[in-house]
Amino acid sequence: MMSEPEDPKQLYISLLDEIQAVVQDHLNLNTLSLILYGSYLHERKNLKSSKFLPLESDLDLMLILDTRNENSAEFLRKTTEVLNPLIFEPSYASILDLNIMEVSDFPIPLGASYNTLLLDAASQGALLFGKYNVLEKFTYSQEDIKTASMYHIYNTWENLKTNFLHRDMVRGSELFWMGVDNVLEGAHTYCAWHGKRNLVRMEVVDEITEILKEPYIDTVKKAHQFRYEDNYDLQYPFKYVQECLILLRHMYYDMKNGF
pLDDT digits (tens, 9 = 90+) for 117-148: 888 889 989 999 999 999 888 888 889 889 88
Strands 59-65 and 96-102 come out as parallel
Check if CATH label 1.10.10 holds for domain 8-137. no
Whether 58 shows a pLDDT value over 80: the answer reads yes
Question: Taking the domains of the chain in order of start, what are their residue ranges?
Answer: 8-137, 142-258
Name the packing angle between helices 72-87 and 8-26 (round to 10°). 160
Q: Which of the listed ranges 20-24, 121-125, 141-145, 234-238 does the model predict with the highest average pLDDT?
A: 20-24
> What beta strand segments (E) does 38-175 contain?
59-65, 96-102, 126-130
Flag the least confident range among 2-16, 113-127, 213-227.
2-16
Query: What single-letter amino acid sits at 137?
Result: K
- Region of 230 (left: φ > 0; alpha: ψ -120 to 50; beta: rest) is left
Closest Cα partner for 107 from 98, 99, 116? 116
Q: So what's the pLDDT on residue 5?
A: 52
What is the residue-wise DSSP string for 109-135? Answer: PGGGTHHHHHHHHHTTSEEEEESS-GG
Comparing 236 with 14, which gets the higher pLDDT? 14
Closest Cα partner for 32 from 93, 140, 113, 122? 122
Q: Tell me if 5 sits within 8 A of 14, measured CB to CB.
A: yes
- State the burial class of residue 166 (Cβ atoms within 10 Å of its Cβ: 0-12, 13-18, 19+): exposed
Q: So what's the pLDDT on residue 31?
A: 95
Phi, psi of 51 (to 5 degrees): -85, -5
pTM reported for the whole predicted model? 0.80
pLDDT digits (tens, 9 = 90+) for 185-218: 999 999 999 999 888 877 888 899 999 998 999 9
Distance CA 123, CA 125 (A): 6
**Residue 46 pLDDT grade (very low, low, confident, very high; cuts 50, 70, 90):** confident
Bond prior to 107 in cis (omega within 30° of 0): yes
> Residues with Cβ < 8 Å from 205, sequence gap 6 or more?
187, 220, 221, 224
The domain 142-258 belongs to what CATH superfamily? Nucleotidyltransferases  domain 2 (1.20.120.330)
Return the exposure string of 182-215: e unless at least 16 CB atoms fall within 10 Å of the residue's CB, then b. bbbbbbbbbbbbbebbebbbbbbbebbeeebeee
> Residues with Cβ < 8 Å from 149, sequence gap 6 or more?
113, 117, 189, 190, 192, 193, 255
